[in-house]
Amino acid sequence: MDQLAQVVLQAEGPTYTGTKAEAVKYHDDKSLYTGVYANGGPTTAGGSGGISDISQLCDRSQANIRGIKD
């Protein structure tokens, strides 16, 4: 048991390795962004038409089983 304990104590512990992503021109260089992303990207804050919550997009009024409004 002492010999095993010595082997474990002499080990330098785990070795962590990994990979590093290569540079991706159209992802990393923000000057190459186009469309809405060139202007800061899409947003859900405020939204167009003053919609601030998904509940404003959903019609929860009564309907029959086929979805026809009563």
pLDDT score of 22: 92
d(CA 34, CA 4): 61
Q: Give which of 41, 43, 45 is closest to 33, Cα–Cα.
A: 41
pLDDT score of 3: 94
Verdict on whether the full-model pTM lies above 0.85: no
Per-residue pLDDT averaged across 58-68, rounded? 86
Mean pLDDT of the chain: 82
Instruction: Tell which phi-psi region holds residue 9, choosing left (phi > 0), alpha (psi between -120 and 50) or beta.
Output: alpha
Per-residue pLDDT averaged across 18-35, rounded? 89
Q: Give which of 36, 59, 38 is closest to 48, Cα–Cα.
A: 36
pLDDT over 90 at 44, yes or no = no
